[in-house]
Structure 1
Amino acid sequence: MPAALPPFPKPQQDVDQAELLQLGVDDGESGLRADAARNRARLLEAAARLVAEHGAAGVTMEAVAAAASVGKGTVFRRFGDRTGLLMALLDHSEKKFQAALLGGPPPLGPGAPPVERLRAFGCAVLRRTADELELQLAAEPSAERRFTSPPRRFLRHHVALLLRQALPDADTELLVHTLMAYLDPVLVHHLTRQCRMPLTRLEAGWLDLVARVTRTGPPS
């Protein structure tokens, strides 16, 4: 892919970029010593392997300790309990995705036109959700936090920024919710697991939705 261009040239966009960076801060890792951060990453890598091999149900404190060749107490001290471990694992994945949005190669990262980035964003979220569906459902925020949790706010701010670039006259504050609803993990679960829709159909639907919303036509 081509090298990224300077991402957000306009003053308002610079403010949004700063907001995105602030939303992407990982408070759980920023204060850790280097050796503690390495140990944490090692445990999360072990947990990720277990998810890939056995699903979220296969992630227990004991299994992670065995996979990482550490004592079970080490895992409990680091994450508290299984829920804390799953949340940390999802957060680890979220930070990688945020880094790709902010500084990765286009079209997911900066350097491509906003509509092209919207297309890439939705397809990437759908694929990530399909890969991590059990984890994302387990970490689904409560109703009162559904729209205010930092990861959701980060992604919503990102989509709003692209919409402002592509549709300066649109009510992006409302339109962003329409687009993000399509990417909801609960809906993805319903469509892929209960309705047996292939992920390629959902990706095609996203591209069609973006084309209709932005009035740009389908990608070439």
Structure 2
Amino acid sequence: MTAPTGRAPTERADAARNRLRILDAARRRLAADGFAELSLDAVAKDAGVGVGTVYRRFRSKAGLVYSLIEDNEARFQEEFARHCADDAPSAHDRLRAFLHGLAELVEDNRELLLLAEASVPAGRYHSAPFRRHHEQIVGMLTELAPGVDAAYVADLLLMAFTPGLFDFQRTERGWDVARIKGGLDTVLAGLAETGGPARDAGGTDGAGGGSEG
């Protein structure tokens, strides 16, 4: 039921502003001190809100980390939507921009994503961002290369952004993000070239024709 006064909308606006202030403060703290030193009390002080406000909204450091990931995902989606609105890019250009944007998203949030992966190893595959990314990639692949198994290939592409693998490539292999993007471009080019008529599991084409013998 709608409140009889204008107080509720004002409270919602204040809550939204507080949330942004808390997340901004948490980002600064993480950048300066890392997760191990992250304190909800310190974040509350930096954000200029009561510590009870932080605990009620996020409950724990893990809750704050997941909220940061969700907020960064929202920003990524907004940027991708703006890209798609400019000059009606092709499916190839949209998918390339999407994959490059994901690489930058993982790079910018590597520590957060590694923390999330460590706490729930398989949780990524059940998360809303993963399902959303998979659906978006499937849509673009279906347009770009209708002959491929879009759902399976989407899983393969998303494996490139597994936090542990991405971090291994950046730290142990010493690859920069440009090299990772270049590898994704190579895969994408191959998909565009080979995405012919769809084939069923038995290797016949969509028209049901048998193999030549």
Q: Would the TM-score normalized by the shorter structure come out above 0.5? A: yes
1:131 pairs with 2:105? no
1:54 pairs with 2:27? no
CA distance in 2 between counterparts of 1:214 and 1:142 reads: 35
Q: Deviations over 1:163-212 (max 9, x none)?
A: 01101232111111111111222111111012221221111111111111
Higher relative contact order (CA 8 A, sep 6+): 1
Residue in 1 that maps onto 2:63: 84
CA distance in 2 between counterparts of 1:180 and 1:80 reads: 30
Structure whose alpha-carbon radius of gyration is higher: 2
The verdict on how the C-alpha distance between 1:110 and 1:169 changes in structure 2, with shifts beyond 3 A counting, is farther
Q: Deviations over 1:11-30 (max 9, x none)?
A: xxxxxxxxxxxxxxxxxxxx
Match of 1:116 among 93, 96, 110: 93
TM-score in terms of structure 2 length: 0.78
CA distance in 1 between counterparts of 2:38 and 2:103 reads: 23
In the TM superposition, 1:1-220 aligns within 5 A as: 33-101=12-80, 103-106=81-84, 111-140=88-117, 142-215=120-193
Secondary structure, aligned partner of 2:159: helix
Deviation, structure 1 residue 144: 4.9
Moved more, 206-215 or 52-61: 52-61
Q: Percent identity?
A: 32
CA distance in 2 between counterparts of 1:190 and 1:199 reads: 12
5+ residue gaps, structure 1, are: 1-31
5+ residue gaps, structure 2, are: 1-10, 195-213
Q: How many residues align?
A: 183
TM-score in terms of structure 1 length: 0.76
TM-align CA RMSD? 2.1
Q: Deviations over 1:21-44 (max 9, x none)?
A: xxxxxxxxxxx8121111111111
The verdict on how the C-alpha distance between 1:54 and 1:36 changes in structure 2, with shifts beyond 3 A counting, is same
Secondary structure, aligned partner of 1:105: helix
Secondary structure, aligned partner of 1:147: helix
